[in-house]
A and B are shown apart, each in its own frame.
Chain A
Amino acid sequence: METDKSKIGSFIFNRSVQGIFYQLITLGLVALGIYYIVTNTARNMLERGLASGFHFLGVESQFDIGMTLIDYSPTSTYFDSFIVGLLNTLLVAGIGILFATIIGFTVGIMRLSSNWLIAKIAEAYVEILRNIPLLLQIFFWYFAVLRALPKPKQSLELYDSFFLNNRGLFIPDTVFGEGSSIIFYLLWLTIIISIGIFIWAKRRQNRTGERFPAFYVSTTLILGTFFVSLAATGFPVSFEYPELKGFNFKGGVKLIPELVALTFALAMYTASFIAEVVRGGIMAVSKGQTEAAKSVGLKQNLILRLIIIPQALRVIVPPLTNQYLNLTKNSSLAAAIAYPDLVLVFAGTALMQTGQAIEIIGMVMGVYLFLSLFTSLIMNLFNRFMKVDGER
């Protein structure tokens, strides 16, 4: 009798048994919740006569999109509209990341400047921009600045080749004539050779301690070959400048105002966060490193290149990619100013027309989720690669 009781007791109070019990309960609750939602959804969809499945992707979309990177017309399918939206999202994210990085690094380094005024200006930039909602900034650039610009006839212009007006930003287009492909092949070839030079220079330095000016040599090689081949083939690359014809500009590349406003706002906003990341990364390199480098007689630019930047980058890169990801996700705010990105085109127009909320929102979320998970995978690999032996 007594032993039976203690057996039951030891069974009930056993840690692993308890663990399994709790997990079963959790699993049960979650399954119940999912079952509840699924049955409700199925019944609701049946009642409202909503279709399900992905057949709609092959159907003609019957709507046009203001800006497309691939051929698209109202007779294209919903899947095409998905691709158009996705490409537009990636475009704005790509340009945004480029500019955010440039501005962010500049401001971050400015904040560490020994010049008091410059450091304060950079601090003001960061504190102002990161404390104002991004959507407000997008609205400001779009409605208050770009929409208020003059008409094409009174455009703001730069060197007669860049024009900014209320129809958008017009920039020169590059036209690749005959024979320009050979220049690209040569460019790639010289880049590959330069990488070879870098590897060889590093090996030689490890072996003999002698430095080789790999950077200057390869830059000269790449640029030299580029210009020589350009001249030899008779400058097949030319620019097509936008020109005012009637009421609007013809020729060149037209960037719609939505794209300009969105990229501008995204770049400025994210730059304020990147600046903090950069500042933190550089400050994380302890002062002893600089002093030690000085005491072994390294010059200032070498200290920066060999000691500070490599160590700072290890701290900077993970949060930096995080900011890139944020920028990509934030580009979905495009919907608020009608830039045709993935959310507006697919989760907006296509959803309204087909009514297939679950499939469409699932696909859109899936895209962003994929981008996030892919980035964190890359980041984990990077961290493993950069890990110094003996660190956690």
Chain B
Amino acid sequence: MAFLEIRNLEKSFGKVSVLKGIDLEIDKGGFLVLVGPSGCGKSTLLNSIAGLETITGGSISIDGRGIDGLHPSKRDIAMVFQSYALYPNMTVAQNIAFGMEIRGVPKAVRDKAIGQVSDMLQIGHLLDRRPSQLSGGQRQRVAIGRALVRDPKLFLFDEPLSNLDAKLRVDMRTEIKRLHQRMGTTIVYVTHDQIEAMTLATKIAVLKDGLLQQSGTPAEIYNNPANTFVADFMGSPAMNLVPVAVHKNGSGVAISAERDNLEPLVLTVPNAPAGLAGHDGGKVIFGVRPEALTDRDSADRNARNIAEGECLIEVVEPAGSDTFAVTRLGGKQVTARLRADANVAAGQKAKLAFNLDKAVFFDPASGQRIG
């Protein structure tokens, strides 16, 4: 039995259904990241786990104990909020100790706990300050300290980094990851930032419109997206999704993408998934990540199936470490990730290598993966 189990969770506000039957679980010590665009229900899901929202249907259990209907303080959880939610009228030490004070923990024990947490987060010198006298990063640490001091079974983070500037965000991200590795705690973390999700998670759950689109390890989500939404949402630059026609030929399946003023680009897919042949004569969506679409020299040496095609480069975007080249296939912009010093120029043709080991195909009507 998993540590946190969410079964068929439903939540509606009046007639508006926000969560439509979510099933999700995470093992002890795992780092579950809920990711999705705004309004997908990820914060509502987190608040439901916290008990800050009452659920309409389904069940939630932590460590085998059903927590439906329990008060937030009885669920053995701690939460870090987006705005940090530090009590403005209390010092840092009082903020950290407030929960213990409410529970009637003796002062000596409280002070010891404050000492331990402030050492761990290096906020010992801030204990007598008020939140208004702290910087964003310091507030963030105090908020994490307030959660740590409870020593809960489950930590909940609600977009904790989105109020920080870009540099600090990366630092705090690393710090949260380090904290998780050192303490071995179980964390549920909400973000709309797919890079945060990829870097932090041991398990990612992608939500959209109150439905779980896919859950799995970051690698599974990235390499084997279940549908076009997940494929498009995760990864930056986003996965190229090209409408192509499917033809069976002798050795397997070929796909062809329409091009303006050029012959269609035809690629033979030797390792085509079984389902693809069923679309013979029809259209599918061909998904390939920018790093699987590159110049010949930097193509993955271990890849078994590489197809080459000559494409007209429309835009070249040097990014320092790489050069991104934009071409057009099937009426869509397609981004290729090339070596920094790749010899390409806008308006000229270049030979691009498609790593078909990494290619995925989707049904154009449903958007679902073709297996």
Partners in one complex: no
Binding site for B on A (CB under 8 A): none
Binding site for A on B (CB under 8 A): none
